[in-house]
């Protein structure tokens, strides 16, 4: 072991090449000259004594795999049980060529080692739940949690709120359809629903109705002094959130008829979709869900119920059985936490009133088909109110020229003004009385007319049927007698 070992010249060349290429200690070249036991043992002792001379940093090879090293590395067969340094180096050298063939495979440049494109099907997409919609500023929009309960009041106009605006501007809309700035000028106008200028004159029959609901009342009501000292009313001007507005005016202005009365009040009930006017298909009218709707219950038509049933749901407004509605109210909040808008409430009144008129016009269409001089169409006009805690706007809507539906403001009211408040209450109570008396009588008379016309039609059809002829009667008698004789003969033969 102490004998000097002379290195052949070719090993010196190999050593220089290994130093310049791999920049590591020339131990593997020296080990190629040693015998399997003694030289390997001497090399291990040398490595243990001077481990700092064995650099392990990763080199930067210029070629995939140095071919001149393979023979020398492969000749080394260390003891499997020993964990020597040269074993780790030889394993590392085997992977150099493989690492050179690897390339960066990002979404921007996907190429194989032979420069053939890699199919994007090999890349895994992000999970579906990680893909989020983004707003106009590029921020991710969090997903909307699924609701397992009934639809809330805040989700009104859901059928139109969750979709993009139908007017085609390309703007993503998180608002309801009635809040769209073009809803009135496009959706309503294209479906024949228009807000008329208040300075225009009313048609004669509508003018008469406006005067009727504005007349003075003899029934008792609050005095000016009582309104002036109503703390709850004046608080609505400063803290007029929508729930507070609803609670106050439902208890003071808008009465709730009893179950034995002919009138019925529905709160926050969606009107049947089939009743909503739809003149064109490219834009739609938002399905109304009025805060308050006045109409009739079945008990209002005890003698006319068969005719109503024969018409199906033509006169029905909602699932509560409200018939022929004539008055809708929309509340909004304008307090610290309120985001209400009377402009939006007016849009809701336009759609709600037009839908109620559409229901009444179904009855008028059947009346016109009777072709009788005694038939008189009912007045299909509908009243509506858009209001918050400090202001109320009263409207009337009517059918115009059998094509369009017009709505016009009758007047506005400042609710904290005692005189305005009393005037507002007077209009509301007169409208309810008109619906309970005059309008109900017109509908009953119209239904009676339809019932009578149906009886006449059925009687005429029965009389128009030809009676059975004498020849056919005698033939039937002969046939029956012949069958009787055959039957008795058969019985005698059996006996």
> pLDDT tens string for the chain (495 positions)?
444 445 555 555 544 554 554 444 445 444 444 444 455 455 445 444 444 444 555 555 555 555 544 554 444 444 544 455 566 676 666 666 555 544 444 444 334 444 444 444 444 444 444 444 555 555 555 454 443 333 333 344 444 433 433 433 334 446 889 999 999 999 999 999 999 998 899 999 999 999 999 999 988 899 999 999 999 999 999 888 999 999 999 999 999 999 999 999 999 999 999 999 988 878 999 999 999 999 999 999 999 999 999 999 999 999 999 999 999 999 999 877 666 799 999 999 999 999 999 999 999 999 988 877 777 889 999 999 999 999 999 999 999 888 899 999 999 999 999 999 999 999 999 999 999 999 999 999 999 999 988 888 777 777 777 766 655 555 555 655 555 555 544 444 444
β 193-195/263-267 pair status: unpaired
Residue 346's SS3 state is: helix
Q: 327 has which bridge partners?
A: 294, 383
Please give the structure tokens belonging to residue 257.
């008829």
pLDDT score at 86: 61
- What's the angle, vertex CA 401, arms to CA 399 and CA 406, rounded to 5? 40
C-alpha dihedral sign at 295, 298, 304, 309: positive
Between helix 85-94 and helix 38-49 the angle, nearest 10°, is: 100
pLDDT score at 452: 87
C-alpha dihedral sign at 7, 10, 16, 20: negative
| Dihedrals phi, psi of 460, to nearest 5 degrees | -65, -40
Rounded distance, CA 192 to CA 399, Å?
10
Name the DSSP letter for residue 369.
Answer: T
Rounded distance, CA 76 to CA 69, Å?
11
Closest CA to 130 of 142, 139, 138: 142
pLDDT score at 280: 81
Rounded distance, CA 336 to CA 285, Å?
31
pLDDT score at 146: 42
pLDDT score at 182: 95
Q: Are 222 and 433 in contact (CB under 8 A)?
A: no
Rounded distance, CA 28 to CA 30, Å?
6
C-alpha dihedral sign at 32, 34, 38, 43: negative
Please give the structure tokens belonging to residue 413.
């009211």
pLDDT score at 125: 43
Q: Is the whole-model pTM more than 0.85?
A: no
Helices (H), 324-417: 342-368
Q: Are 237 and 416 in contact (CB under 8 A)?
A: yes
Rounded distance, CA 278 to CA 474, Å?
60
Q: How many residues does the chain have?
A: 495
Q: 261 has which bridge partners?
A: none
pLDDT score at 198: 86
Closest CA to 221 of 448, 423, 474: 423
- Kind plus residue range of the DSSP H or E element containing 324: strand 323-331
Name the DSSP letter for residue 95.
Answer: T
Q: Find the Cα–Cα–Cα–Cα dihedral 295, 297, 298, 299, rounded to 10°.
A: -120
Please give the structure tokens belonging to residue 362.
């179904």
Q: Residue 133, by phi and psi: left (phi above 0), alpha (psi -120 to 50) or beta?
A: beta
Q: What is the largest CA-CA distance in the chain?
A: 149
β 263-267/323-331 pair status: unpaired
Residues sharing a CB contact under 8 Å with residue 143, sequence separation 6 or more, in sequence order: 129, 132
Rounded distance, CA 213 to CA 250, Å?
20
Strand order in the sheet with 391-400: 193-195, 404-414, 391-400, 382-387, 323-331, 292-296, 263-267
Please give the structure tokens belonging to residue 231.
């703390």
Closest CA to 418 of 236, 226, 232: 226
pLDDT score at 370: 80
Please give the structure tokens belonging to residue 73.
């590395």
pLDDT score at 490: 46
Name the DSSP letter for residue 289.
Answer: -
Name the residue ranges covered by the structural domains of the chain: 9-97, 178-459
Q: Are 332 and 242 in contact (CB under 8 A)?
A: yes
CB atoms inside a 10 Å sphere around CB 316: 22
Q: Are 177 and 388 in contact (CB under 8 A)?
A: no
β 193-195/404-414 pair status: parallel
pLDDT score at 268: 96
- Kind plus residue range of the DSSP H or E element containing 246: helix 242-252
Please give the structure tokens belonging to residue 267.
């709160």
Q: 140 has which bridge partners?
A: 134
Q: Find the Cα–Cα–Cα–Cα dihedral 287, 293, 297, 301, rounded to 10°.
A: -90
Q: Are 86 and 78 in contact (CB under 8 A)?
A: yes
């Amino acid at each position: 072991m102490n004998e000097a070992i002379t290195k052949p010249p070719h090993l010196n060349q190999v050593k220089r090449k290994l130093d310049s290429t791999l920049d590591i200690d020339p131990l593997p070249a020296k080990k190629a000259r040693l015998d399997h036991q003694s030289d390997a043992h001497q090399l291990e002792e040398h490595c243990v004594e001077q481990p700092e001379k064995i650099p392990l940093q990763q080199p930067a090879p210029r070629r995939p795999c140095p071919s001149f090293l393979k023979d020398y590395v492969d000749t080394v067969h260390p003891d499997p049980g020993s964990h020597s340094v040269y074993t780790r180096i030889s394993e590392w050298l085997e992977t150099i060529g493989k690492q050179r063939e690897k390339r960066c495979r990002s979404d921007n440049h996907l190429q194989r080692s032979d420069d053939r494109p890699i199919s994007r099907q090999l890349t895994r997409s992000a999970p579906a739940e990680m893909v989020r919609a983004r707003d106009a500023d590029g921020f991710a929009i969090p997903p909307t949690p699924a609701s397992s309960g009934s639809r809330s009041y805040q989700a009104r106009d859901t059928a139109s709120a969750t979709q993009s605006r139908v007017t085609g501007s390309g703007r993503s809309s998180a608002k309801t359809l009635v809040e769209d700035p073009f809803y009135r000028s496009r959706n309503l106008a294209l479906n024949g629903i228009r807000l008329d200028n208040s300075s225009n004159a009313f048609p004669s029959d509508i003018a008469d109705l406006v005067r009727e609901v504005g007349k003075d009342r003899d029934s008792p009501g609050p005095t000016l002094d009582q309104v002036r000292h109503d703390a709850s009313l004046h608080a609505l001007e400063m803290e007029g959130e929508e729930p507070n507005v609803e609670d106050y005016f439902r208890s003071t202005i808008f009465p709730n008829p009893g179950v034995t009365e002919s009138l019925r009040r529905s709160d926050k009930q969606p009107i049947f979709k089939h009743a909503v006017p739809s003149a064109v298909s490219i834009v739609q009218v938002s399905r109304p869900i009025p805060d308050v709707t006045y109409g009739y219950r079945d008990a209002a038509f005890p003698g006319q119920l068969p005719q109503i049933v024969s018409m199906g749901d033509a006169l029905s407004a909602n699932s509560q059985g409200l018939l022929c509605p004539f008055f809708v109210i929309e509340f909004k909040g304008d307090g610290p936490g309120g985001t209400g808008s009377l402009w939006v409430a007016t849009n809701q009144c336009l759609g709600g009133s037009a839908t109620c008129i559409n229901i009444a016009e179904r009855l008028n269409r059947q009346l016109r088909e009777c072709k009788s001089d005694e038939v008189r169409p009912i007045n299909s006009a509908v009243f509506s109110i858009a209001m918050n805690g400090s202001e109320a706007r009263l409207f009337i809507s009517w059918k115009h020229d059998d094509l369009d539906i017009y709505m016009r403001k009758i007047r506005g009211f400042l609710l904290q003004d005692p005189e305005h408040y009393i005037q507002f209450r007077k209009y509301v109570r007169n409208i309810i009385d008109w619906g309970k008396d005059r309008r109900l009588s017109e509908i009953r008379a119209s239904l009676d007319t339809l019932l009578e016309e149906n009886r006449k039609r059925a009687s005429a059809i029965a009389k128009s049927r030809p009676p059975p002829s004498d020849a056919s009667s005698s033939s039937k008698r002969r046939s029956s007698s012949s069958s009787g004789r055959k039957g008795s003969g058969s019985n005698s033969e059996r006996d």
